[in-house]
Structure 1
Amino acid sequence: MTLEYAIRIERLAESDGGGYLATAPELPGCMSDGATPEEALRNIQEAIVSWIEAAQEWKQPVPAPAPPLARAG
């Protein structure tokens, strides 16, 4: 499955445990984390697949990924 959703990766404060938080803004509540940006990216890709599978199972709409130009700004 090709994932084309925008992903945001942010560094977490040491007071929050450190590492990196990855979110898929187009999929409400879809997030994951990792010790490195690369790990956070791998984990959010798995989370996106799980988010979509759960939405389909619950017969909820799955937002289509926004075109890349629509994400800029």
Structure 2
Amino acid sequence: MSIEEIRGKYNCNVITKLSKGELKKLFNIEFGYKSDTRFTLIMAGDVIPSPIETQWLSQNVEYYYQHHAPYQTQS
């Protein structure tokens, strides 16, 4: 999955705010970051993630997206 697809799924309002916070926390733990800055910049499109970060984000954003998608209401 490309970083643009990852950002799209993350920002499309399927993943809840609580789960986004959990994703950010897990990302920081996984890569040893002390603050949320790198994650925030990646998701905003201001920073290009490393291949390892991209792979991790792809797996985890997809997991959360698939978990929350069935609960979305059809309009």
TM-score by length of 2: 0.36
Q: Kindly indicate which of the two structures has a greater share of residues assigned to helix.
A: 2
TM-score by length of 1: 0.37
Q: Using CA pairs under 8 Å that are at least 6 residues apart, name the structure with larger relative contact order, 1 or 2.
A: 2
Q: Kindly indicate which of the two structures has a greater share of residues assigned to strand.
A: 1
Greater Rg by CA: 1
